[in-house]
Amino acid sequence: MHVKYGIQYDISHEPKEVQQFWNNENNRALKLKESSAKVAKIIQRINADILTLTEVGGKEDLKVLMNELSHIGVNYKYWETICCKDSFTKQHVAILSKFPIKDVWPEIKGKSIYLEELDGDSEGETGISKGLKVTVTISEKEIDVLVLHLKSERGGFDNDAKRLAQANIVRQSIIKLLNDGRKVIVIGDLNSEEKNASLYRIRGFDDVYEELIQTCNSDYFDNTDVR
């Protein structure tokens, strides 16, 4: 959380007094409450029925945010976060909903192989460290929502290859849902600009198996159902 206050991610590079302040749990709790109150006011202005968050803390940190929302009269009765597998950033994704939530996947399971070098001399394996799936029920209609934070763009070819491999896992997950005729939304920090290969992979542009499912066209909802 200290990064949000202009402190370097690796706090050991900061002066000793800064490290002492942020390593004190009481100080951290006060700063978490302070920053959560600011985020809560922004969420209040957005006024969304369903809201997804990336780069947030775990369940205990989310409880602080929910309390701050409650203090200003914003009530998200249903919310979920993930089982984070990122030991470096320890960041989570989360969803807040005014509609019922069920069938929670606290992680998007699966592994995918990728080439670490263009000439194929070495291979790597990756999973999705920050991913969540829930089913939201709106006006008796079920929608599967996947909230993701894919690999950062920093790191050049290796990270691009990892992100594309993560997109493979996402596609494999949603294909199963689409085959059952379900509505699926993929949202989050995908670290991909428009026309990026990872987005094309998630949307199914290059599905090539026999029973081809082409789902790259957007599906729009009546704005009276959800904001």
State the Cα angle at 121 between 115 and 124, rounded to 5°.
Answer: 35
**What are the Cα distances from residue 197, in Å, to 5, 116, 153, 173?**
34, 17, 13, 18
Q: Which of 61, 68, 67, 59 is nearest to 37 (CA)?
A: 68
Supply the pLDDT for residue 212: 54
Phi first, then psi: give them for residue 168, nearest 5 degrees: -60, -45
Supply the pLDDT for residue 151: 92
Alpha helices by DSSP H, listed for the chain, are: 16-22, 25-46, 59-71, 157-179, 197-203
Q: Strand, coil or helix: what is 27?
A: helix
150: how many CB neighbours lie within 10 A of its CB? 26
Supply the pLDDT for residue 216: 56
Those residues of the chain that have pLDDT short of 70 are 1, 118-120, 155, 208-227
Q: Specify whether the CB–CB gap between 103 and 126 falls below 8 A.
A: no
Domains and CATH numbers, the chain: 1-46 (no CATH), 47-227 (3.60.10.10)
Read off the pTM. Answer: 0.84
Rounded to an integer, what distance in angstroms lies between the CA atom of residue 23 and that of residue 98?
Answer: 35
Q: Strand, coil or helix: what is 141?
A: strand
**What are the Cα distances from residue 227, in Å, to 49, 104, 220, 221, 224?**
6, 22, 12, 9, 7
Any idea of the CA torsion for 179, 181, 182, 183, to the nearest 10 degrees? 110
Supply the pLDDT for residue 220: 45
Task: Tell me how far apart the 2 most distant CA atoms of the chain are, in Å.
Answer: 62
What does the DSSP assignment read for 181-225?
T-EEEEEEE----TT-HHHHHHHTTT--SSS-----S-----TTT
